[in-house]
Amino acid sequence: MAYNSGSARRSAASAPAAAPILIALLSALILNPSVRAQEPIRVTVNDVIVPVTVTDSKGKFVSNLEKKDFHLFDEGREQNISYFSHTQAQPIVIGFLLDQSNGMKIHWDKYKEAATELMLNLLPLEKKYSGYLITYGNEAELVADTNADSEKMVEKLRKMKPGGGSALFDAIYMACTSRRTIKGEPYEPRRVVVIIGDGHDTSSKKSLKEVIEIAQRNLVTIYALSTVAFGFHTESEDNLVQLTEQTGGRVVTPLNDIYKDISGYLSTPSDDGNYAIAVGTGGYTAQISSAIFRAIADLEGEITTQYVMRYTPDVAEKGNNRQFRRIRVGVDLQNVTVRYRSGYYPFAPPQ
């Protein structure tokens, strides 16, 4: 960053007189810890990071696109993409948020297995992958802080038992704001949160609107593995939809797909095909497990098969004082779905 120090110049003759002043200033910097603690002064540019997922008409990930295939718009104005990468080359910090409320008791063993599988697969003991575990019942609790060893989290997970309320929003707030051992710029490594729960919240001090904003300000992408069972839809599911769509992630709903190929399961559960997967049968258990692990594979693919773009909003647009700016990403390809964060808060430093 260049700056003009002014037109005045000291003469060579005045240099000796300035020496004591310089010595005094240097001594103050060396001896005064409060002064040293303020250094160095950093000035950052308002770069915007945009993780993008592209899938075809069958839901398969499109992973062979290049920078030239994308068009990125900020408030309707196309921007120059200054940085483009595939996420397999980038470090990722993943927060696992696990519901510990009463609603998890029915299929707790299955979801404990699912969480274990996600942790082991997404944190393969490589330095560029790290994660942490937050559980939420009546309160949100940091169970394991950021590290690359998934076994530590899995060991603590094995001892857990659900029960109580649900402080989902407080857990998200904690994930987005706690000071963690994360190195790099705000956009590197990528920050991802995976919620395993039904979206219900009964105990949080924070609101849905607050946590969506804090996630957007801190460039956190939220994904969710919904635990809502087939035929038991609630208004709380919309919480997961809003959290994921506004931050560029998505919701997978394994238990809502169990009977999708069986016509009229709830209205006419009397034929042999339906009885074969009735609750309590081996077929039912197998369907539950299969659906959950398909959902896990989808989430893993989503998190590790993204494109990451960075741009600096042009100077003319920086003068706009809107609090929230909307972005849009287009791809030069037919019949594809493109997912990305809905926008960002300009000049908002990570909390």
pLDDT digits (tens, 9 = 90+) for 26-51: 454 445 544 444 333 333 446 788 98
Tell me how far apart the alpha carbons of residues 272 and 262 are, in angstroms, rounded to a whole number.
11
Look at residue 312 and tell me whether its pLDDT is greater than 70: yes
What's the mean pLDDT in 174-186? Answer: 66
CA dihedral 10, 13, 17, 20 (to 10 degrees): 80
Number of continuous H segments (helices) and E segments (strands) in the chain: 10, 14
Q: Are 277 and 25 in contact (CB under 8 A)?
A: no
> Would you say how long the chain is, in residues?
351
Instruction: Give yes or no for a contact between 162 and 137, defined as CB atoms under 8 angstroms apart.
Output: yes
Convert the pLDDT of each residue in 278-299 to its tens digit: 444 444 556 667 777 788 888 8
Q: In the chain, how long is the greatest CA-to-CA distance?
A: 104
For residue 273, pLDDT beyond 50 = no
Tokens of 169: 């929003």
The arithmetic mean of pLDDT across residues 126-132, rounded, is 84
Confidence of residue 232 (pLDDT cuts 50, 70, 90): low
Task: Pinpoint the residues of the chain covered by CATH 3.40.50.410.
Answer: 91-264
First CA to last CA distance, the chain: 25
Strands 325-331 and 70-74: antiparallel
Going 262 to 241 to 172 to 205, the CA torsion angle's sign is: negative
Q: Give the residue with greater pLDDT, 125 vs 209.
A: 209
The confidence score (pLDDT) of residue 256 equals 66
Q: CA nearest 340: which of 310, 300, 298?
A: 310
Q: Which of 182-186, 191-195, 312-316 has the lowest mean pLDDT?
A: 182-186
Is 51 within 8 Å of 344 (Cβ atoms)? no
Structure token digits, residue 247: 């931050």
**Candidate ranges 37-46, 219-228, 238-247, 290-299; pick with highest mean pLDDT:** 238-247
- Report the mean per-residue pLDDT for the chain: 76
List of residues 6+ apart from 7 with CB closer than 8 A: none
- Predicted model pTM: 0.74
CATH architecture group of domain 91-264: 3-Layer(aba) Sandwich (3.40)
